[in-house]
Amino acid sequence: MKTSFLTRSFYTVLQVALLTAIWYACDRAAAWLHLPFSGGVVGLLLMVALLLAGVVRPAVVNHGAEWLLSNMLLFFIPLIVSVVQFTALLEREGVRLFAAIGIGFISVLLATAFTVEWVCQFERRVRLRKLRTLRQGRQTIHLGQEQPA
């Protein structure tokens, strides 16, 4: 069944509002609890936990998340405007700022790479353990039966 443009748009707006509400609640909670990281990180962790637990199905936030990701460039416009407004700061502290950004970028890149590698190795070990258990069970069945002569 094909949904109309109006229906899909309504669900997208509703899902963006839901994601924004979750972000806002997590941002307020992070500020109230004086957490050392932003509410966006708390919201991301909360959404991952809800999705993995099955409390929230991916279809509930799919259209809204796709819209936010496809329009992500719009969220960087205030950053660009602020860079233009603070050229004196960039002239004074530009090298240190870009070094901090570079180190942060490389740190995130490495942490992500190591995390992905760790998860892949963990999944391989789990699959291998299941395969060994399955093969061992089959050998036990074959050994327990009489072999024709």
Residues 47 and 12 occupy one common structural domain: yes
**In this prediction, what percent of the chain has a pLDDT beyond 70?**
91
Which pLDDT score is estimated for 16?
92
Residues 89 and 137 occupy one common structural domain: yes
The range of the structural domain enclosing residue 126 comes to 76-149
Q: Is 18 exposed, middle or buried (0-12, 13-18, 19+ CB in 10 A)?
A: middle
Q: Which residues of the chain have pLDDT under 50?
A: 149
Residues 88 and 146 occupy one common structural domain: yes
User: Which of 70, 89, 117 corresponds to the end of one domain?
Assistant: 70
User: Which of 40, 70, 100 corresponds to the end of one domain?
Assistant: 70
Residues 37 and 53 occupy one common structural domain: yes
Which pLDDT score is estimated for 142?
61
Which pLDDT score is estimated for 111?
93
User: Which of 22, 43, 70 corresponds to the end of one domain?
Assistant: 70
Q: Give the number of domains in the chain.
A: 2
How many angstroms separate the CA atoms of 16 and 7, rounded? 14
Residues 3 and 61 occupy one common structural domain: yes
Residues 29 and 98 occupy one common structural domain: no
How many angstroms separate the CA atoms of 1 and 73, rounded? 32
Residues 26 and 95 occupy one common structural domain: no
Within 13 Å, how many C-alpha atoms sit on residue 74's CB side? Answer: 5
Which pLDDT score is estimated for 143?
60
Which pLDDT score is estimated for 5?
84
Which pLDDT score is estimated for 123?
93
Mean confidence (pLDDT) of the chain: 85
Which pLDDT score is estimated for 147?
52
